[in-house]
Amino acid sequence: MAQVDELRELIYCADVPATVGTRARIVLWFGENRPKKEIAAMAGVSRPTVNLWLSRYEAEGVAGLLERKRGAGREQVPATIRAKILAATRSAPPEGLSHWSSREMVKFIARTEKVTVSHHYVATLWRETGLKPHRQGTFKLSRDPRFAEKVADIVGLYLAPPGSAVVLSIDEKTQVQALDRTQPLLPIDFGVTEKRTHDYIRHGTTNLFAALQVGSGEIYGECHPTRDGAQFLAFLKAAVKPHAGKDIHVVLDNLSAHKTQDVERFLAEHPQVRFHFTPTYSSWLNQVELWFAKIQRDVIRRGVFTSVADLGNKLRRYIRAYSISAKPFRWTYTDPTRRIHANRITGTAY
């Protein structure tokens, strides 16, 4: 009777997989002296499957009906070998190799530690620890002698803007192409990705000027056929106009169009507007670059544009929709040895 109760518990328990419940039913039905052929039809399985679970139950009881772990056991590798692999991965590979591969690491461990591990173990270990020796990135080191000072100045603006000042992050995304496909897109469907032709028609380019209000995340943007000092100054005037009467701090890069005599004259006539230049080769410090990456993903990369005017319209439409629900980017500063004070923030000279 106790065994019958256990079997019924397997059938009606919500935490037990349905397959286990079916196995319990097979055993109960067999206990009711039903023919195996009938049991197979009722359970929706084959006669050999009925025989399998009846034999498992006879040999192991209820435990024989439960799910069993499948696959080979995890490869057992001592912690010292694991540490050796991780340390070697972060150092230069043997002479003649440009980078580590899982199989080369296996050879290295076998040669130096006299231990055999599989390349599958090495690959899994790399995935678990986030090491990617097969990939390589690039970086460009800023040689700006005032690098640390400028970084502290701009990060200070992001984290603690002085008083009620407005912080604008301004830049241009140049040569945005109006690409049209030679055939209409094939839309996405169940089991089918969206498809477009490899070849395209190039209708021309535009230059996207954008000003990100750091405190709110709102975007003001314009499209222009050219990018020069006159266009930049016109855009700057339009970007700061809504904030008349406030101190305005503008973060921007070292492009020559940002330093023309007309721009200098404008700054002299409007002392409430102050420029903060990013260090050389450090435009990543400008928050509007984050937004440029977003519009590239959302609109430009997979967009289809029948003309430069169509491209401009779609960019402006995206900007309007984005600004309605805009949120500021969350900028984090994690160096505990430095503290940024608002009273140290001043316009960076060029």
In which residue are the tokens 């404008």 written? Answer: 266
248-252 vs 273-277, strand pairing mode: parallel
Q: CB of 173 within 8 A of CB of 297? A: no
Backbone phi and psi for residue 119, each to the nearest 5 degrees, phi listed first: -70, -25
In which residue are the tokens 């009722």 written? Answer: 42
Which of the 8 DSSP states describes residue 184?
P
d(CA 167, CA 250): 6
Instruction: State pLDDT tens for residues 207-217.
Output: 999 999 999 99
If one compares 16 and 255, the residue with the highest pLDDT of the two is: 255
- Say which range, 101-110, 145-154, 189-198, has the weakest mean pLDDT: 189-198
Tell me the pTM: 0.65
Q: If pLDDT is split at 50, 70 and 90, which confidence band does 333 have?
A: low
Instruction: State pLDDT tens for residues 191-237.
Output: 888 888 888 899 999 999 999 999 999 999 999 999 899 999 999 99
Judge residue 230's burial from the number of C-beta atoms within 10 Å of its C-beta, 0-12 exposed, 13-18 middle, 19 or more buried: middle
Instruction: State pLDDT tens for residues 238-297.
Output: 999 999 889 999 999 999 999 999 999 999 999 999 999 999 988 889 999 999 999 999
If one compares 275 and 334, the residue with the highest pLDDT of the two is: 275
166-181 vs 200-213, strand pairing mode: antiparallel
State which H helix or E strand residue 36 sits in. helix 36-43
- Say which range, 2-6, 82-86, 191-195, 317-321, has the weakest mean pLDDT: 2-6
Q: If pLDDT is split at 50, 70 and 90, which confidence band does 350 have?
A: very low
Instruction: Show Cβ contacts of residue 338 under 8 Å, excluding neighbours closer than 6 positions.
Output: 152
Q: Report the chain's mean pLDDT, rounded to a whole number.
A: 87
